[in-house]
Amino acid sequence: MELIGRINKRKIYYIQIRNNSEWKFSLPKYDWVAFTIADKEDEELVPPAVKICMDKNVAFACNAGTLAISTENYFDEEM
């Protein structure tokens, strides 16, 4: 996970999961926001990524890319 900036006292990190099987261990355990970007080539990654985010107590998720609506639906189903 790479620190890419700060807003006020909050840190902003970037992590690419496509070729990184260890990404899930980098996520915070509580009180965090996920901003996902998923396109067609990421389709098989979305369901397990959503589940892991929910298991790590994500507080809010914003979704972008061609699979934004689909990703949002997966988050809704996991709630």
pLDDT (tens digit, 9 = 90+) per residue, 20-58?
Answer: 999 999 999 988 999 999 999 999 999 999 999 999 999
Q: Contact, 68 vs 38, CB < 8 A?
A: yes
Please, what is the Cα angle at 33 between 29 and 38, to 5 degrees? 110
In this prediction, residue 78 has a pLDDT band, given cuts at 50, 70 and 90, of confident
pLDDT reported for residue 56: 96
Least Cα distance to 47 among 23, 74, 27 occurs for: 74
| Alpha carbons 63 and 72: distance in angstroms, whole number | 6
Measured at the CA of 48, the angle between CA 26 and CA 1, to 5 degrees, comes to 20
Confidence (pTM) = 0.88
